[in-house]
Chain A
């Protein structure tokens, strides 16, 4: 068992951290305040292949292993969680399923621009009445000759405001529960696809999350990902990888919080000494530091299983639920360590706190992750 990063992984971490500290961290405050996405930075990231992490070089990707991909997402999120979210969702639940389930022709047409970062991807599953309960999907796709006609409403679409390619989950056989879903690759410019206003979010404000509606949107049958009825299979497999992306993102936020807290605790003096010398502060730091390390190992272990082609459903759920809760607890402790200043925008810790919370909610709530874990424990 090798628990150390490889030489390559260490260099990748250093390289991404350098870029993230130089370009992403300084933009984070403004992105949080205005909600404006920074296309100029996205273009630089595209050139560095941040949008094709695990996609092979022949489609324009970087061809990284899963642990390296998690390291990239962690380091980006440590500097700028909203950009980390963009990269995580684009890579793990948009580009990756097109690679995994797409035909060669679909890979050429859709995967290459995604991996090159020329188009940003989304994953449109959630609806007003279907979140954790995927079987309650209402969006329909009715076949008519060589086309499907899509109707329905998708909400909370991460990257929605900037996307060029969208994976839309829709019922092709409304009567058949579970088997009746399919996934369509729908270009943003296609007639009948409308994007709603950007959500006014608590955190991750630099990511343009919005609703996407489909009104008699005609999609050619060659845009069907996999075969008709593959929807559930694609969703479950994709969400396994997605969980690792979110887990890595949560880890990055937790690490950012710990780093900021250590710095502050050493600088801030009360009762004639740095507050880092007080046991109460040390308890916070020790607890958070330990849990970050545990979360990191859970994530890398699940990534390693994925890399080797093993089932990693349980492990990815464990990594996701654990890392996202570490992120929330670490940032809450971080605000506490910063005291009154932590409650102001003079320090980044309050943003970390707001950014962290959603990690417990999206791509499967902590409650759903525990259902997945328990099911696996009870039924193997």
Chain B
């Protein structure tokens, strides 16, 4: 099975701080790591490769330093790594990003049987990329998958939705976004890390390699503009009231009245 995994470098969550003046993430001194669910996607791809054979290719769009994430992917066990990098790709929203990723996947030979993405990232948390790539490539998609089985020429996958466990049969080729619980993330042997950095290659594709125009990528190709960012107000502490049902009901009514949520007349009713 030919599998492509899309990964993203994100700031390491425990070290992230916000610049409260400019409302941006302070990236200086913050280490970048592979988005945790993308790591799960890679492990799932490698598990499938072990079961049914094939090749795992890992792809990312980002600045040149994103190469480090791909090297780590090679250490995890990916067969090939491709970095989509070009100054024109900078400032992309999810639409422009998935457009570039889709175009790159389209160009892969052989075309993958399966594209895997993490369901969402820890930095922007949109969950857009997977579905948008699937739409652009015209692939069926299942999001939030936590179990994958190969059955003949199809996949049978499971996902939790609204408290139900969906079991879905999906034809290949397909795109899945995966969530935690799908498979464990292993620690990396040092020799694999050494080899990934010293003996393996990362392919680089630019805007020209992908035959894309500047107005369909990066900031220019983005359909959305961030107008404002703000940090949500912290939730206040809850109030605990004790007493008889009567006391509790009266207290609750008084509070609701005070907040003008309940009409005063109704309250007295």
The interface of chain A, by Cβ under 8 A from chain B, is 6-8, 10-12, 14-16, 18-19, 44, 47-50, 52-53, 57, 61-64, 68, 72
Given known contacts A11-B68, A11-B72, A62-B191, what 5 new A-B pairs fall within 8 Å (CB)?
A: A8-B196, A15-B193, A57-B191, A57-B194, A68-B194
Min CB gap B182→A, angstroms: 19
Query: What is the chain B residue whose CB lies nearest that of A55?
Result: B191
Tell me how far the C-beta of B204 lies from the nearest C-beta in chain A, rounded to whole angstroms: 15
Q: Quick one: which of A6, A10, A64 contacts B31, CB cutoff 8 A?
A: A10
Question: A18–B68 Cα gap in the complex (Å)?
Answer: 17
Tell me if B219 is interfacial: C-beta within 8 Å of chain A.
Answer: no
- B188 sits at the interface (CB 8 A): yes
Tell me if B's interface is mostly helix, strand, loop or mixed. helix
**Which residue of A6, A12, A44 is within 8 Å of B190 (Cβ)?**
A12
Q: Is the CB of B31 within 8 A of A63?
A: no
Tell me the bound Cα distance from A50 to B193 in angstroms: 12
Residues 47-90 (chain B) with a chain A CB within 8 angstroms: 65, 67-68, 71-72, 75
> B residues bordering A, Cβ < 8 Å?
31, 33, 65, 67-68, 71-72, 75, 187-191, 193-198
Q: Which of B72, B190, B197, B198 contacts A72 (CB 8 A)?
A: B190
Task: Pick 10 A–B contacts, CB within 8 A, sort by A.
Answer: A8-B194, A10-B31, A11-B72, A14-B31, A15-B193, A16-B190, A53-B190, A57-B191, A57-B194, A62-B193
Q: Which residue from chain A places its CB closest to the CB of B31 in the assembled complex?
A: A14
- Knowing A10-B31, A14-B31, A14-B33, the reply to whether A49 touches B198 (Cβ < 8 A) is no
A64 touches B190 (CB 8 A): yes
**Cβ of A18: which chain B residues have Cβ within 8 Å of it?**
187
Closest 4 CB pairs of A and B: A62-B190, A8-B197, A62-B191, A49-B190
A72 to B188: give the CA distance in the assembly, Å.
Answer: 13
Instruction: Tell me, in angstroms, the Cα distance from A72 to B187 when the chains sit together.
Output: 14
Question: Please, which residues of chain B bring their CB within 8 A of the CB of A49?
Answer: 189-191
Contact A48 B187 (CB under 8 A): yes
In the complex, are the beta carbons of A47 and B189 less than 8 A apart? yes
Contact between chains at B193 and A11 (CB < 8 Å):
yes
- How far, in whole Å, are A16 and B33 apart by their CA atoms in the complex? 14
* Chain A proximity of B12: nearest CB distance (Å): 8
